[in-house]
Amino acid sequence: MPTTETIDLLEQRVSVRAYTQKPVAEETVAQILRAAFRAPTSSNIQSYSVVVIRDAETKARLKTVTGGQGHVVEAPVFLAFCADLTRIERAMQARGHGIDSNNLEVGLVSTIDAALVGMSAYLAAESLGLKGVMIGAVRNDAVETARILGLPHRVYCVFGMCLGWPAEVPPQKPRMDYSTMVHYERYGALRDNRGLDDQLVDYDSALAHHYGAIGKPTTADSWSHDMDKKFFPQLRDHLRQQLKECGFDFR
């Protein structure tokens, strides 16, 4: 089977939450982000910005928003990947137009753009030996995150990323089997002909075995239990209104 350094990096990827005290140089971060900014962007709109955070007090405030995740403070660098419509809005306003009536499409596209840049930055960092973890919990309170980062109207933080030199790399968590997620020519045409319930039972068992091996409490229906617990009651129920306050009206 063919492979490359890039494929190997992705296949070995894990989320790392423990870092050494070795600093991450500013030029290293710049190199990572310059490479990441070559990620695909819809219609060349480049509707993203990144806030680089090193200040301990700022990271402490972000730790509170993200539910007390200690690695947010402990990581030498925290990168906030933001959907940013300010440049598009300025270009349109200069030509007598506004963005309000087109906010759903550009809001969705800018969120995707930010995600593409974030994953590209993650991969570039890993290629240099750095490790990190994505932090979606900045959306626990999108408005407060915007205040902490000084984000203007039409900008919101899609997710953050802790970044540093790894002190400890955990065992890789199993993913669902390839054959349950790849469809051929049309949705539902799978190489695995078992029903979805059977596929989930297999993954529940594999994930429970992984958690048991590292001493993490779980249940026999590990993944299914966690998904039900995470999304019922509804997660971040106020997010739509918070994003509207930030200038993203996802109607």
Supply the pLDDT for residue 251: 75
Q: Which of these, 249, 243, 75, lies nearest to 160 by C-alpha position? A: 75
Residue 63 belongs to domain with CATH number: 3.40.109.10
- Domain boundary among the residues 131, 150, 169 is at 169
Domain tally, the chain: 2
* 81 and 115 co-located in one domain: yes
What pLDDT score was predicted for residue 123?
A: 97
Q: How far is CA 172 from CA 87, 176, 246, in A?
A: 40, 13, 36
Q: Are 161 and 118 in contact (CB under 8 A)?
A: yes
Rg (CA), the chain: 20
* 83 residue type, one letter: A
Cβ contacts of 144 within 8 Å, gap of 6 or more: 65
Question: Which residues have a Cβ under 8 Å from the Cβ of 116 and sit 6 or more positions away?
Answer: 39, 40, 41
Q: Are residues 155 and 223 in the same domain?
A: no
- pLDDT tens per residue across all 251 residues of the chain: 889 999 999 999 999 999 999 999 999 999 999 999 999 999 999 999 999 999 999 999 999 999 999 999 999 999 999 999 999 999 999 999 998 887 789 999 999 999 999 999 999 999 999 999 999 999 999 999 999 999 999 999 999 999 999 999 999 999 999 999 999 999 999 998 889 999 999 999 999 999 999 999 999 999 999 999 999 998 999 999 999 999 998 87
* pLDDT (0 to 100) of residue 31: 98
Entry pTM: 0.96
What domain range is 81 assigned to? 5-169
Together in a domain, 32 and 151: yes
Nearest to 113 by CA among 51, 42, 52: 42
176 and 155 together in one domain: no
> CA-CA distance, 69 to 73, in Å (whole number)?
8
